[in-house]
Structure 1
Amino acid sequence: MSRLKQADKVDSLAGFRTTKPEPTVPLGLLKAARKSGQLNLSGRRLTEVPQNVYRLNMDTPEEAQDVSFGGSDRWWEQTDLTKLLLSSNLLTQLSDDVRLLSGLTTLDLHDNQLSSLPSTLGELKGLQQLRLSHNQLSSLPRELFTLKNLCSLSLQQNLLEDLPEELGQLENLTELDLSNNRLKELPSSLSCLTNLQKVSLHHNKLTSLPEGVSHLRIKVLDCSSNQLFDIPASLSGMLSLEQLYLRHNKLSRLPQLHAPALKELYVGNNLIELLDTEQLASFTSISHLELRDNKIRTLPEQIPVLPELTRLDLTNNDIKDPEKADESQTAMTLPSMARVNVHNIKTLRTLEYSDKHADSIPDELFDAASDQGITTINFSKNQLKATPPRLMELQASVSDLNLGFNKLTDCSDICKLLQLTHIDLRNNQLSDLPSEMKNLTKLRSIILSYNRLKSFPEVLYEVLSLETVLLGNNQVCVVDPGRLMKLACLTTLDLSNNDLLNIPPELGLCTSLRCLSLEGNPFRTPRAAIVSKGTDAVLEYLRSRIPA
């Protein structure tokens, strides 16, 4: 009878069924992870996290079957898993068993297909870095906001429309990236995050900012590409704010800011029509003021002297040249002086002689600029084969030099302009840069696109002040990430359309980069799908490829 009962339980089709194999991790990786505390499973096309990953420090490893005590590897001396990298896979969900990885400090899940997260994520009390960018999250479990040790939270490129007030419980958070979501407002509890230093909110649908953020110690705030009509005056209370990005909004006036540490303000692509003299005068520490692509028609008669200002960008506004009656009678009596914009020289401290197709710069231009404290020079779109000799007469004050679209093969002379912060040398015939350029200790940006450079210029590795390097459309085939890492201020690097056959994984360690362009090179990895997702995705992918 018992045999008949057993027969009832027999599955007659068992031999014909195919079962989906459970994903596993090679034993070698698990063994290494137990020793190092780090496990990198990025880019393996996983649709779920293998169960033996969750139980890494719970199950007895196979090597325990070897009872020999003479080996150098002692399985019982394993390390808790602290870093788990699962980026660039095909994960649609995360198991509740993630709670078993109680030692995690870093969890990287960016570039997957996650639409939800388990509440047990809140049990990882030691978690410090959580990367969830480039997924399909429309909501977050409230338990996530109990992670009091969390320092960095990346949620960019998801489907979030709102955030709970519990966000304010993440008291140790220093970096918060909510860019490229669908946020229409921010919770008032944001003002409780007193340790925040860097906040990215760009590409959302925000119409206002919480008043309480004025009490925070944020250094970098990016609110570009939103729907902001105004900025609360309380932002003046942000005593630590150094960089404020407000591009592509609906601002009709310059923000009323008196933030004492503010060095860079970007308000391009708005609807600003007027510049207030008093407001400009309040920017006592500003070095970079971007007002391009607005509706500004006139400039104040007396633009205040901003002692730290090195770059003022008014490109693509509606500013008209002042009436010629304002120019001196002497200037009008000399035919050659009709080419000299006296208003630019005296008011904007700008020397302009561009798009003239000239092979030299007229002496009367330098004569008019004498003793005027010129800071900006634009000699672009000419036929210059050498640096104008009289340029050296302005070396005490010039900080912004544009020699783009000429025929320069050498630029040694500009290395004597020690006040330079910005150099534009695009579309010339340069094959190298002079070693003397290392003397430009204030240089912040250099544009070298469309030249004949075959490698990242050696001297630039020594210019530690650099923030922006544009090398697109050259023949660069090699870059040294080890030396590049020493450029701690570098935020923008354009290497697009060059001859790079491979991208060193160590480039991902250049964490100061906010914009990295690699399109149009012949390398095969990272693949185009990752490159198209932007800088954060590329850097995280590269870091995931560094051998443990």
Structure 2
Amino acid sequence: MVDFQQSPDANAVNVHFSRADTTIPEKDSLQISQETQVTKELEDTLPVHVTDRIFFIDLANKQQTTIPLQIFELEDLEELHLEKNLIESIPGDIHHLKKVKVLYLNENYIHDICEELGELKYLQSLDLSSNPLSYSSLHIISKLQALRQLRLYDANLDEFPVEICKCLHHVELLGLSGNNLKYMPKEVVNLRKLKEIYLQKNRFESFPLELCHLHNLEIIDLEQNLVSFVPEEIVSLTNLVKLFLAFNNLLSVPDTLHRCRRLTVLDLTNNLLRRLPPNFKQLTEMNELGLSGNNLEKFPGQICHWKSLCLIYLKNTGLQVLPSSFTRLTCIKILDLSENFFYEFPKEICAMENLEILSLDDNQICELPPSMMGLSNLKCLGLTGNRFSVFPEEVFLLQSLEKLYLGQDKGIKFMTLPSDISKLQNLRELYLENNCLEYLPPSIGLLSNLEIVDCHNNLLKELPDSICQVQGLQRLLVQNNQLFQLPENLDNLRKLQLVLLDGNPMTDPPIEVCSQGNLAIREYLQEKRHQKAKATKVQGNNFPFIGSNVIPLARSKLAVDTWANITAK
């Protein structure tokens, strides 16, 4: 799963792997079977109408300091969410929940695990993450024989209890990220049904060899450790589908990894790699590859054999060119080539009609080829920090474009935005920060889908009135320009949530109004228009009369002549 977001420092496209444990079930609205009423006290305690036939309760983030005792009367309860509360202990009455299968107590203040928790013989999913757990009480978890998912993220663990490894033979998911683990106990090999293990943000210096004996493993996440070596024995993990090794100290990866033929996701971001093993071309099922932050000698040609590859991240890898064989990768949807040394737009990309997100930020590109019109499905284009002296009008060939990043935070800056920007009718976000724009073209008002305009750090003297026609506009970022007034109808944009005007010599509204935020700006513009309308009404009532006929004041020579003729008659 991949998303993209703005860099906190510049509006460049930043694409990356999503690291979340995606196996946690989504919580729907409260699922209740209501048959027999129980105590009014429980109804007052819980934010729902309560019966003894409840199967699902969600009390997450409700400032609960204890688990309401009435819950323990619900013998049919199967799923209980109490995460993000202020609970310090688990009452012994927890054993009354004989049918509970899912129990989430993460992000509380629980120190000790009571013995009675071990009596929940049907419990399948337990989350005790982000609690100050006492290591001495963790052995109780080993009594939960039916457990299939165990999450102990951010639990300040220095070691993982051997008892859990010896007893929980049905565990399929083990979440231990955010601890202080340096090794896994050898007894972990007893977890023979384990499919997913999350160990990111620990202190592993080497890949746990014990994991190579767990042949059902499908996902291994060792991101953000100190791993410098992956053993050849990883070849035994023939069911491995996703391997996350980003932000470690790897100088190489074993050639035997190519025999893990089911591998579809491999993240090696921010290591010390210079090349990939030749036999990697046999990983024909690969779908996502992360190599950003490695100092590659050249583009790894093995990748071009992965015809099903959809996402590839090669940010800051020292690349200057792409091989001609790159055109084989016709399934690519997301491509990150930012922070490299491309002096020309790689023409090999232009035939990728499935490409949706392309990041070429922070390269040395001066112009775009007309052939990029072949990117018929491109939705997001990042070109921030290149060397365009004028706005690259070839962008207007990309009719599907929804997000455009063309900030010039370094080097050459362009001075005008062509009126043909209106051709990008699907555009929702436009980033043009750090240029030398003095005006925006009136045609920007024709971009009916536009939601974000970011032109901070330019030389804008005024905003076109037509921007008030963009009814979907939500964010207008124009700080550090030369603006002294806003369009008088800007307050008509009902969806506008944020206007940033810092660093402008504003007089209308005055700086002191602008500094108070959006509401103050809106009220100022509304009051100004109200006063203007009032003045117009007074002036409009000051008409000369002839009998009962109302004649408007003359406003032009033609009107004066006409008025003279009327009065003469």
Q: Which structure: larger Rg?
A: 2
**SS of equivalent to 1:143:** helix
d(CA) in 1 for partners of 2:286 and 2:212?
20
Match of 2:331 in 1: 261
Match of 1:291 in 2: 360
User: Contact 2:471 / 2:493 at 8 angstroms: preserved in 1?
Assistant: no
> For 1:482-501, what aligned pairs fall within 5 Å after superposition?
none
User: Contact 1:191 / 1:216 at 8 angstroms: preserved in 2?
Assistant: no
Structure 2: state its 5+ residue gaps.
1-110, 409-415, 457-461, 480-485, 502-516, 519-569
Match of 1:509 in 2: none
User: Contact 1:41 / 1:85 at 8 angstroms: preserved in 2?
Assistant: yes
1:143 aligns with 2:231: no
How well do the aligned residues superpose, as a CA RMSD in angstroms? 4.6
Per-residue deviation, 1:268: 0.6
User: Contact 1:286 / 1:308 at 8 angstroms: preserved in 2?
Assistant: yes
Match of 2:375 in 1: 306
Match of 1:29 in 2: 117
d(CA) in 2 for partners of 1:158 and 1:266?
24
d(CA) in 2 for partners of 1:221 and 1:375?
29
Matching residue within 307, 311, 315 for 1:247: 315
1:93 aligns with 2:181: no
d(CA) in 1 for partners of 2:396 and 2:179?
56
Per-residue deviation, 1:299: 4.4
User: Contact 2:443 / 2:466 at 8 angstroms: preserved in 1?
Assistant: no
Q: Closer, same or farther in 2 for the Cα pair 1:221/1:383, shift >3 Å?
A: same
1:178 aligns with 2:245: yes
Matching residue within 289, 297, 303 for 1:235: 303
User: Contact 1:83 / 1:104 at 8 angstroms: preserved in 2?
Assistant: yes
1:205 aligns with 2:272: yes
d(CA) in 1 for partners of 2:406 and 2:341?
29
d(CA) in 2 for partners of 1:138 and 1:92?
14
1:129 aligns with 2:196: yes
1:316 aligns with 2:404: no
d(CA) in 2 for partners of 1:450 and 1:26?
53
User: Contact 1:117 / 1:140 at 8 angstroms: preserved in 2?
Assistant: no
Q: Closer, same or farther in 2 for the Cα pair 1:303/1:153, shift >3 Å?
A: closer
d(CA) in 1 for partners of 2:345 and 2:439?
36
d(CA) in 2 for partners of 1:148 and 1:353?
48
d(CA) in 1 for partners of 2:121 and 2:373?
63
Per-residue deviation, 1:118: 1.4
Structure 1: state its 5+ residue gaps.
1-22, 58-78, 322-340, 356-362, 418-422, 436-446, 453-473, 476-548
User: Contact 1:284 / 1:306 at 8 angstroms: preserved in 2?
Assistant: yes
User: Contact 1:44 / 1:88 at 8 angstroms: preserved in 2?
Assistant: yes
Per-residue deviation, 1:426: 4.0
Match of 1:219 in 2: 287
Q: Closer, same or farther in 2 for the Cα pair 1:199/1:427, shift >3 Å?
A: farther
1:259-278 CA distances to partner (integer Å, 9 max, x unpaired)? 1110111111112223343x
Structure 2-normalised TM-score?
Answer: 0.53
Per-residue deviation, 1:144: 1.2
1:162 aligns with 2:250: no
Q: Closer, same or farther in 2 for the Cα pair 1:342/1:36, shift >3 Å?
A: closer
1:125-152 CA distances to partner (integer Å, 9 max, x unpaired)? 1112211111111123433112122222
**SS of equivalent to 1:122:** helix
1:272 aligns with 2:342: yes
d(CA) in 1 for partners of 2:378 and 2:493?
27
Per-residue deviation, 1:43: 2.9
User: Contact 2:139 / 2:161 at 8 angstroms: preserved in 1?
Assistant: no
Per-residue deviation, 1:161: 0.2
1:418-441 CA distances to partner (integer Å, 9 max, x unpaired)? xxxxx9744699999868xxxxxx
Match of 2:139 in 1: 52
The alignment-based identity, stated in percent, is 24
1:39 aligns with 2:105: no
1:339-371 CA distances to partner (integer Å, 9 max, x unpaired)? xx685677889999999xxxxxxx9954x678x
Per-residue deviation, 1:38: 3.3
d(CA) in 1 for partners of 2:406 and 2:304?
39
**SS of equivalent to 2:174:** strand
1:59-115 CA distances to partner (integer Å, 9 max, x unpaired)? xxxxxxxxxxxxxxxxxxxx5222222221232223443222212112121111111
Q: Which has the higher mean CA deviation after the structures are superposed, 405-414 or 92-101?
A: 405-414
d(CA) in 1 for partners of 2:292 and 2:405?
31
Q: Closer, same or farther in 2 for the Cα pair 1:347/1:240, shift >3 Å?
A: closer
Structure 1-normalised TM-score?
Answer: 0.55
1:113 aligns with 2:180: yes
1:304-347 CA distances to partner (integer Å, 9 max, x unpaired)? 532223333222123445xxxxxxxxxxxxxxxxxxx6856778
User: Contact 2:468 / 2:492 at 8 angstroms: preserved in 1?
Assistant: no
1:440-492 CA distances to partner (integer Å, 9 max, x unpaired)? xxxxxxx977669xxxxxxxxxxxxxxxxxxxxx99xxxxxxxxxxxxxxxxx
Q: Closer, same or farther in 2 for the Cα pair 1:90/1:450, shift >3 Å?
A: farther
1:505-525 CA distances to partner (integer Å, 9 max, x unpaired)? xxxxxxxxxxxxxxxxxxxxx
Matching residue within 278, 281, 305 for 2:350: 281
d(CA) in 2 for partners of 1:409 and 1:401?
17
**SS of equivalent to 1:247:** coil
d(CA) in 1 for partners of 2:262 and 2:306?
13
Q: How many residues are paired up?
A: 362
Per-residue deviation, 1:251: 1.1
Per-residue deviation, 1:390: 6.4
**SS of equivalent to 2:252:** coil
User: Contact 1:84 / 1:106 at 8 angstroms: preserved in 2?
Assistant: yes
User: Contact 2:138 / 2:161 at 8 angstroms: preserved in 1?
Assistant: no
**SS of equivalent to 2:258:** helix
